[in-house]
Each structure stands twice: as C-alpha cells, then as structure tokens.
Amino acid sequence: MLQIARNLCDVESRVLGRATKLLIDRDAKYSHDWRAWLEREGVEVIRLPPRSPNLNAYAERFVRSIKDECLNRMIFIGEASLRRAIAEFTVHYHDERNHQGLGNRLIREEHSSSLAAGPVQRRVRLGGMLSFYQRAHA
C-alpha cells in the first residue's frame, strides 16, 4: 500500500493530479503509515465516518454506471483515450442523462422556456455510444 501512496503522489504521473484531498473509507488497508505518507506529501486524507454505508453508495453508483454504460463497451488505446472517455461520460452523467432517483430529471437542469418548443433531436457522445435527447432551440 505504501507503493500505491508513492504512485498517487509521484511527480511525473501524479495520479491525484492537482487534488489535495483524498476521501477513503475505514478499511484496514489504509494504515496509519499509508495515511501519514500521503499527508507528508501534502494530501489531506479524509476518512468516512464509521458505520456510514450510504456515503459510499453515491460513488459506487457512479462507478457502476460508468463501467456498464461506457468503459466495458470500449477498447482503449492508451491513457489519453481512457481519460477522454471518462471526461465525456462525466459531462453526460451530470448534464444530459436522466436520473431515476431524481424523478427522471437531470442533475443540472437547463432552465429555459425556449426548450419547451421545437422538435426533439438525438445528440451523441463518444461516437454514438452515449445518446441523449433534447429539444432543438426554436
């Protein structure tokens, strides 16, 4: 696990990017030494409260969605193509994909009266792998 911590903070690859905080659960694999290593490297480690299973549910739902709807359907040719697919899916997930838990609404709804008129158009991302439907602007 210490090698994983080194990889997260590595100057060249810097898996965490510009992130300065890491949210983790209370699994024993995240030992005191592991957390101390990250904190020495300038990463604030935030542990989830004990007995809080619902905090992980949102992250796990996103991971399941991105795997089922995107990543399991593609073959990646390097890190750049994987990063592009993740970025495209994240925009799709937050701005274009309806969510049943929100009453089949979007997370970030566009509030405009002009969207109520006009024909419905199909829009695509990632070469048609992700589709969504939107009214054309009148």
Q: Is residue 34 part of a domain?
A: yes
How far apart (Å, rounded) are the C-alpha atoms in residues 117 and 49? Answer: 47
More confident residue, 27 or 54: 27
Please say whether the beta carbons of 26 and 19 come within 8 A: no
Whether this model's pTM surpasses 0.85:
no
Q: Is residue 121 part of a domain?
A: no
Q: Is residue 138 part of a domain?
A: no
Q: Is residue 22 part of a domain?
A: yes
Highest mean pLDDT among 47-51, 83-87, 126-130: 83-87
Q: Is residue 68 part of a domain?
A: no
Of 111, 110, 87, 109, the residue nearest 99 (C-alpha): 109
Confidence of residue 91 (pLDDT cuts 50, 70, 90): confident
Confidence of residue 48 (pLDDT cuts 50, 70, 90): confident
Domain count, the chain: 1
pLDDT at 99 (0 to 100): 66
Q: Which domain holds residue 39?
A: 1-51
Q: Is residue 17 part of a domain?
A: yes
How far apart (Å, rounded) are the C-alpha atoms in residues 97 and 125? Answer: 12
Mean pLDDT, the chain, whole residue set: 78
Q: Is residue 106 part of a domain?
A: no
* CA-based torsion, 128, 131, 133, 138: positive or negative: negative
How far apart (Å, rounded) are the C-alpha atoms in residues 61 and 118? Answer: 33
Q: Is residue 45 part of a domain?
A: yes
How far apart (Å, rounded) are the C-alpha atoms in residues 107 and 102? Answer: 8
